[in-house]
Amino acid sequence: MERGINTRCLHLEETEGKTDNYGALSYPIYQTATYAHAGVGKSTGYDYSRLQNPTREQLEKVVASLEGGIDAFALSSGMAAITLLMEIFKPGDHIIAEADLYGGSVRLFDNVSKKNGYEFTYLNCSRDDIEGAIKENTKAVYIETPTNPMMNVSDISKIAEIAKRHGLYLIVDNTFLSPYFQNPLKLGADIVIHSGTKFLGGHNDTLAGFIVTNNEEVQEKLRFIIKTTGAGLAPFDCWLILRGIKTLGIRMEWSQENAIKIANWLKEQPVVKHVYYPGLQEHPGYEIMKKQARGFGAMLTFDVDTEAHALQILESVRMIKFAESLGGVETLITYPTTQTHADVPEEVRLKNGITPCTLRVSVGIEDIEDLLAELTEVFKGLK
């Protein structure tokens, strides 16, 4: 019987009953570049920290356990993880990608991957005909669910069936929900991506990225590429993420509870024209989320009536911070037009629903009364 996810955030079964590392409950930071050997062919199991490091290995085992993968790869950022993953493809390969991706992913695909000979077709994977876009050279489907920032929800199991029927990899960016709320590999995906900077770390104090897979061929390719390219996560940053993961469940539950209350509060505000949160029953992805996830997450997006009001909100918040990123204990509000999606062409942004009136919120763990009090004051001051 598989242990609960909160337990797996704290313990690896393989280490139970052991007192390695002098019994330290906090896994040590092995801050070393290289390792000594007793003789030729007598390795300690580690040779050079670009190849592997005990602290990184511990973190990778924890993340693999949380996602139900056979292996995980800890990288220096979420974008480093996606960049590394793209190396399993070759010039001429075609990838079907979600149209409403994080802007950094689109920037990478359009400016680096295309330069390297890859071809992309962007679709709204929650509603468009994915199967109809498959070509002879198609190798993968790449999705976020919910998407960033418009919170579109794709049916992972359904897309996995299509991918398997055509021999494609299904890649799912699971950053918004974290492994606490959603496990794409168990729904048929082959590869999961995380920006570990976000909910896994949870404290806005380090950058990290992860690739998790249950495919042995992908595992073998990535182990070779990561040691070759050298983008593995540094030991201290691995320790910070390990520390953050210990409270993942508590943080996700509290942030989600706050997010649901804020989403419902926003619905009642005259200046708010639309609230995008999959935990609202009217959201088109609500039933799919109930089927494939254990929660709705702490991310929400909303549109106000005018650009002037959007800018005034950003300038008026105080406890809530106007900042990029997401997934930390602090509540952040972001302006996709000039921040996360600034490099996405305007016509694409508008087609996806991202307008100058769109604001994205990463809800933290502050007392809900304080969050609503600040929002009430900010909205009352709108002119």
- Catalytically active residues are 50, 102, 173, 198
Do the Cβ atoms of 363 and 255 come closer than 8 Å? yes
Do the Cβ atoms of 233 and 56 come closer than 8 Å? yes
Measured CA to CA, the distance from residue 376 to residue 370 in angstroms comes to: 10
Q: β-pairing, 138-144 with 119-123?
A: unpaired
**Angle separating helix axes 216-229 and 78-86, nearest 10 degrees:** 110
SS3 34: strand
Q: Supply angle C-alpha 33, 35, 39, rounded to 5.
A: 155
Phi (first) and psi of residue 222, to 5 degrees:
-70, -35
Measured CA to CA, the distance from residue 329 to residue 316 in angstroms comes to: 20
Do the Cβ atoms of 170 and 188 come closer than 8 Å? yes
Phi (first) and psi of residue 205, to 5 degrees:
-120, 0
10 class by beta-carbon count within 10 Å (0-12 exposed, 13-18 middle, 19+ buried): middle
Q: Which residue has the tokens 């769109």?
A: 358
E strands, 279-376, in order: 299-304, 321-322, 332-334, 358-362
Do the Cβ atoms of 335 and 359 come closer than 8 Å? yes
Measured CA to CA, the distance from residue 32 to residue 195 in angstroms comes to: 25
